[in-house]
Structure formats: structure tokens, C-alpha cells
Amino acid sequence: MENIINFQEDLYERIVKAKTNFKKSPKERITKEYVDSRLENLEQLWFEFLSGHKDLFRSYNAKDVKGSSYVTKNVYDKAEEMYLEYKCDLKTLSKQFESKLIVESNEPKPKVSNRMHANYPQINIPHFSGNYQEWTTFKSLFKSLVINNECLDEIQRLHYLKCYLKGEAEQLIKHVPIEEGNFERCWLVVNERYNDKKWICHHVLKRFLSQKNLTTESSVGLKELVDTTNECLASLASLGIKVEEWDMIVIHLINLKLDPETRRQWEFHCTAKTTSDELPTYQLFVNFLKERFSAINRLSQSNKPINTTTKIKALHITKTVTCVLCKENHKINQCTQFHKASIDARRKIVTNNNLCFNCLGENHSARECHSKVKCRVCKRSHNSLLHPKGDNNGNNEASESIASSSNDTSQVVSCLASSTLTYQQVLLATALVKAVSRRGENLIIRALIDQGSQSSFITESTVQYLGLKKMSAKGRISGCEDNTWRCRWSLCRSSSAQERESSSDIFTGNRREKAKIIRT
């Protein structure tokens, strides 16, 4: 019901707008033909409004209709009043033009020689260039505005006929002089050439049947389907074909071209509006399609996503390394308490804190450690500070050597990429890198350049795109606010520049290799 009410309100607004635009029309545009065209348009709008009004009260409960905005806002009364006012204005002007033409026709006609140099009244008719598809429309307009116009004589009609024929059609009567008695002959010649009802009917039916099928819900597609069907039926009716008896045939053919969901909704609508012994009408089908494409159009407008962009900020932060034993800002191999502890106590500290026995690092075991440094006493895979008792001198010597050479910085630089929602754009430092896939192919990928990052990172989707082999790895990635994220995989790969090349050291995971990178 809401769709019909919206359609009725739209028709009322169109009547109001038509009257307003007519009032604004310049005087030179207001002719009898212009007024008649406006009057025909008004009658068409009022006919559709009355049809919708009847459908509303016929299809829905009267109590529900009376409680709707259609009745409370007096839409029908306002539309009827506006229709009568507008029609009265147009009728008045039309009669004035008719009276003027009658007075002019009673005056003595000038001679032919003088009439040929007179300014003929302007009649707006589309030009006809010989296209069979346009003949029916041109013929109807020309007969209504020129042939049936009693104010025009034969010479004037022939003049208009020559003016509105172009191209191939113009060549048919190009050499016929404008004289008395030649109009009927010229009009007959043009009719015999282009009034081929069989050809026109064939073309119209071909256009009607060749309309494209809809696979998805589309308001534009439904509108084109309805408009083209109405045009074809009007053209066939102008040929004298009784298309008003084709309702079920047209409904069946158009229904086959609808998308599955619209076809399903039509079955529900048809079942609700008709009984089992009634056949749906073409007008009911058209009204359903109009409501359908209006609803789809409104839904598509409300579901449009808001265009937003993401601003990326690259920040560099530092995280202080904390000793697991004394909680001071240094590594455990630099801790005084750890050095003072016995070998057994050191081993217990490492075990309780899940540290690596080889490098004393976190989040991995000695078996998974990538460090190449071994025990300085026995050259085995454990830290020199954890060497078993047996050679105290060697152990003390190794302890002093490690303590004196441990001048590493106590800070780790990490890279954080944070995103905030904004409606502005930002230019990022990126580069197109030529990466070698596992199959040896050179593929172009986009890289984000962060000169402050100590490690290189790659997305898993890019790894799959290049077909690279992953290696299991355990580690932590430090970020903002002392948060850490676990790293599951690492890999080693080389890349080369597209233009000039240079050699540089890069880190991928926990392994070091030579690679070629782009200079930007």
C-alpha cells in the first residue's frame, strides 16, 4: 500500500510541477500546438492518478486506507483541484487560439504568389529521414497537425511536407514543384514507400521479443523492460492490431525475462490479487513492476557504502629490555646476580623462565636456536655461562670474556603500523619490487619502506602468491604499549630492482643474507 501511496503523491507533484512550468513559459513558445500538447500530458497524468486511486481502494482494506497519509493529507482532493485549475487555464488558451484562427480564415486569401513569401506558422514535428521505425509516429503527427488543419491550404501542406522530409524520403519528392494539386500526389508517393505495415509489425515484434533477460535485481533493467514493452504495444496498436487482447501473452513473455527473485515475487503478488478462476491483467503486471523497481531503487540508495579511506601512520618506538631475574634494564647474560649464582642455580633460572640454553633468549629452545655461537669451553650447543662443573678456570675465563664483550645496546627498535579512520588521504613511501617466485618467475609486488625497522615482514598472502617455502619459527614482534605478537614462520628470499641495483644487508626472520633492493 505504501508504494501505491508514494506513486499517487508523485503523480500529484508532477501535476503541480507541470502547471508551475507552464506559467513560466515565454510568450513566444505558447502556441495552440503547445497548449494542446500540455493538455494531452495533463489528461495522461490524471488518468494514471485515477487508476492508482481505484487500485488503492480495491486492493486494500478501506479502514487501513482511511488511516493512511493518503487520506489524512487529502492527496486526492488536492490533485483534483489542481487538475481542474490547470485544465481550465489550458482550455481557455486553446479556445482563444481557435477564435483567432477562425477570424483569420474568414479574411480574403491572398494570391498564391504573395502567400508563398508569407511567414508560415511554426509546427514542431520531428523530421523523417526514411527510417521505417519512425514512420508511424511521423505519419500520425503530420496528419494531426498539418493535414487535418483546416487553416492550411494544399500549397502550405506541401511546403511543410518538403520541410520535414530528409535524406532518402526527401529524394522521393525533391523535384516536385510546390503548386496546387501536388500535395496529394506527393503524400501518396511517400505513403506507398514507407507505410509497409508488414515490415513495421515485424520490426516492432522483433524488438519486443529480443529484449535482454535480467539475471539479477535491477531497477534500471525493469524500467527499460516496461518502457520498451509499452512502446512496442503502442506501435502495434497504431497499426490497427488489437493488442488489448494480448494481456496473458505479454505477461508470459515478459515474465520469462525477469530475474528469479522478481518472478517469484510476481507469483506471490498475482496470487494475492486474483483468484484461481481469474486471469491477471497487463495493467496489474505493469503496476507490480513499477512498485518493484521503485523499491529496488530505494534499497540500493540506502545500502550504498560510505566512502572512507584509511590513514596509515608509521611510528618508531623503543622497548626497554628487562632482565627476567633482577628486572633491571639489561639482558640476563649481563646480570650481576646471574653471574654470582652457581652453575646449577643458573641452569634452574634458565629452565624456570623458558630461556634458550644456547643464547639465553626468550620464546625458543636450544634446538630451534639460530645463533651460531657455541660454548667457548666445550664448543657444544649451550651457553658458556651454563657449562657444567669440571673446569672452573675455563668457566671463570669464559664468564669474564662474555661479561666484558657484552656491550650490546639494551634497547630494541620496533616498528608499529597503526591505522585511524579518516576521510583524508596520505601518501605512503612505497616501491614496486621485482620478486623471484619459487618457480623462477619475476613477479612485481608492492613494498612499504620503513627505514627504522630492524626486520623485514611479508604477508602470508604474498608468500602464497610467490610460492615460497616457509620455515617454522618462534619469536615475538614488539609493538606499541609494550605489546608483543608471536611469529610462527620465517623465510629467506632475494629480490631485485627493476631499474638500478645495489647490494645491501637485510634480515628476514632470524637469518641474514645478501639481497638486491630498489633504491627510491
- pTM, to two decimals: 0.34
Termini Cα distance of the chain: 64
Cβ atoms of 42 and 20 within 8 Å: the answer is no
Spatial distance between the Cα atoms of 472 and 490, rounded to a whole number of angstroms: 6
Q: Which residues pair with 475 in a beta bridge?
A: 487
Residues sharing a CB contact under 8 Å with residue 165, sequence separation 6 or more, in sequence order: 127, 128, 129, 172, 173, 190
pLDDT of residue 481: 45
pLDDT of residue 67: 77
Each residue's pLDDT, cut to its tens digit, for the chain (520 residues) gives: 788 888 888 888 888 888 888 888 888 888 888 888 888 888 888 888 888 888 877 777 777 777 788 888 888 888 888 888 888 888 888 888 877 765 555 555 444 444 444 455 567 778 888 887 777 778 878 888 888 888 888 888 888 888 888 888 888 888 888 888 888 888 888 888 887 788 888 888 998 899 999 988 888 988 999 999 998 888 888 788 888 889 999 999 999 999 999 999 999 999 888 888 889 999 999 999 999 888 888 887 766 555 555 555 555 555 567 888 888 888 888 888 888 888 888 888 888 888 888 888 887 887 888 887 888 888 788 888 888 876 544 444 444 444 444 444 444 444 444 444 444 444 557 888 888 877 777 778 888 777 667 677 778 778 777 778 777 776 667 654 456 666 667 766 554 444 444 433 333 333 333 333 333 2
Nearest Cα residue to 449 out of 312, 265, 259? 312
pLDDT of residue 60: 79
Residues sharing a CB contact under 8 Å with residue 101, sequence separation 6 or more, in sequence order: 32, 151
b/e 123-148 (16+ beta carbons within 10 angstroms → b)? bebeebebeeebbbebbebbeebbee
pLDDT of residue 229: 92
pLDDT of residue 130: 80
pLDDT of residue 252: 93
pLDDT of residue 153: 86
